Structure 1
Amino acid sequence: MTAQPVRRQAVIRGEAPWWLLPSVEAALCGPAGAELRELGHTGAPVKEARDFTAQTLTAWGLAELSADARLVVSELVTNALRHAGPPQGVRLLHRSAHLVCAVLDSADHPPILTTADHFAESGRGLWLIDTLCSSWGWHPLPHGKLVWASFPTPLPSHHRTSA
């Protein structure tokens, strides 16, 4: 298997892949979307989101992305909890050559990429997301916002070229 280069995409406030927003704003239908609602009713929303992500990616045949995607979803849910209250949901979308992890929250202010002090115990979540993902961003919604992160997905084995 050859490594696929990650192509960075500039993130502009409110922009998301053209295919993401209709799928997120409407009810998810089709085989490539999954949603976890009522997050946190067990008292462990970050764990719930990580487990949901791992199970969904395994079912989709994308288990090799599970570790990075679980970390990104953990950071998105943690940011929502800290800055907006309980998240309204986690959505995973697999379209073409992309996996998108999205978290809906009730705050209307954007996520802010900050520089944490060397000894700070927090403040690096969006840096992790920026490092692990090919693109990320946020989009305002009527009652909150959607924060999303995109990964390139591996090509199906019949499309891969040998080295």
Structure 2
Amino acid sequence: MKLARNLFATASLAAALGLVLVATAAAPAAAAETVYVHDAHPDGWSIGLGLGDPSGLDVKYWHNDVSGFDFGMGFARFDKVFSMYAEYELGLVDIRMGRGNHGVFYLGFGGEAALRDHAPKASFYGGTPIGFTMRFRAPWDLYAEFRPQVHFHEDPDFVFGGQVGARYVF
């Protein structure tokens, strides 16, 4: 049973990383045709709150209109842990919705470190965030994200996380 769980976790991580590599290879062609219609805040910093696993502070640096680096920290209510994460999110599909509003479907890769009350050392995770961000002409965005992850420790396992939240864009 333990071997099957380890094989499943390894295969799942390999599949997720394969998706990221395919998306990254296809991104230069897609980016060459991108028309930036979101003039209100095409790049820069945003800060907000996310609810889910973990719930807490979320900070994102948009290096263009659809992709960026996401950082956060908060508490996971199911595992009762404090965690910090960092991700790169590659915008794959930019949906124009008129009046300067648009939505971005993204796929990324990243990691998370968690501190538990009952464990003497930190736990580490690697994962692939899959999500959607709605960017408005007003300086706000809303997001929803699903995050399959592999938990790296003596007995690796496959876990899920995710958030919904809002950020103010500077």
TM-score, with structure 2 as normaliser: 0.28
Pick the structure with more helix per residue.
1
Tell which has more relative contact order, 1 or 2 (C-alpha 8 A, sep 6+).
1
Pick the structure with more strand per residue.
2
